[in-house]
Amino acid sequence: MNRNNGAIGALLDEYEKAIKELKVVIQNVTPDDLVLVLDNETKDKDCKSIQTILSHVVESGYNYAVVIRKWLGEELEYKNKESLYSVVDYNFALDKMFEYNEELFNNYPNIQLEEYNPNKKINVRWGQIYDVDQLFEHAIVHILRHRRQIERFKEKLEGNPVENKSN
């Protein structure tokens, strides 16, 4: 198991921790609150409701691993976004997504995390260039950013106006 490998273990532990923190934040979100559009002004369709954010987080979490597997030579399709209708379903989806990422390191226990040659790095669909370590660090922070966004949405739901700060 790769949890004993310092760098891989740290990435997996922090990824899992970020997911657990997200699950705590969403634990009391009702099905009605899940689908309620809380940001009518954003042009980002993935950031309109808690549901759209969580669907985006799950899809992205799979696709970070997919892009690495493709970079390693596997022929795979990207995961499509799926809208779910309960926190229980999202918790299950987040767990499965994490297991998929963990499986990457089980399948490639000697994967090179750091790559200094820019020509050998992973060029992702949104135009950034990463090595495996950087992409997993991005995946972790991606969850943290959206956890924060959901916290702010919950403040709106509770009737506490969110100050004029960007999400």
Three-state SS annotation for the chain:
CHHHCHHHHHHHHHHHHHHHHHHHHHCCCCHHHHHCCCCCCCCCHHHCCHHHHHHHHHHHHHHHHHHHHHHCCCCCCCCCCCCCCCHHHHHHHHHHHHHHHHHHHHHCCCCCCCCCCHHHCEECCCCCEECHHHHHHHHHHHHHHHHHHHHHHHHHHCCCCCCCCCC
Confidence of residue 130 (pLDDT cuts 50, 70, 90): very high
Residue 6 pLDDT > 60: yes
CATH number of 17's domain: 1.20.120.450
Mean pLDDT of 162-166: 50
Residue 95, domain extent: 2-157
Domain-embedded: residue 37: yes
| The predicted structure's pLDDT at residue 159 | 84
Domain-embedded: residue 112: yes
| The predicted structure's pLDDT at residue 163 | 54
Count the domains in the chain.
1
| The predicted structure's pLDDT at residue 164 | 46
Mean pLDDT of 82-92: 98
Domain-embedded: residue 164: no
Domain-embedded: residue 165: no
d(CA 60, CA 115): 22
Residue 166 pLDDT > 50: no
Pick the closest to residue 135 from 68, 57, 50 (CA basis): 68
d(CA 53, CA 58): 9
Residue 160 pLDDT > 60: yes
Confidence (pTM): 0.92
Residue at token pair 């399709």: 77
Residue 52 pLDDT > 60: yes
Confidence of residue 80 (pLDDT cuts 50, 70, 90): very high
160 versus 20: the higher-pLDDT residue is 20
Mean pLDDT of 90-104: 98
Domain-embedded: residue 166: no
Residue 165 pLDDT > 80: no
Residue 44 pLDDT > 70: yes
Rounded to a whole number of angstroms, the distance between the first and last alpha carbons of the chain is: 37
Domain-embedded: residue 167: no
Domain-embedded: residue 20: yes
Residue 5 pLDDT > 80: no
d(CA 62, CA 103): 11
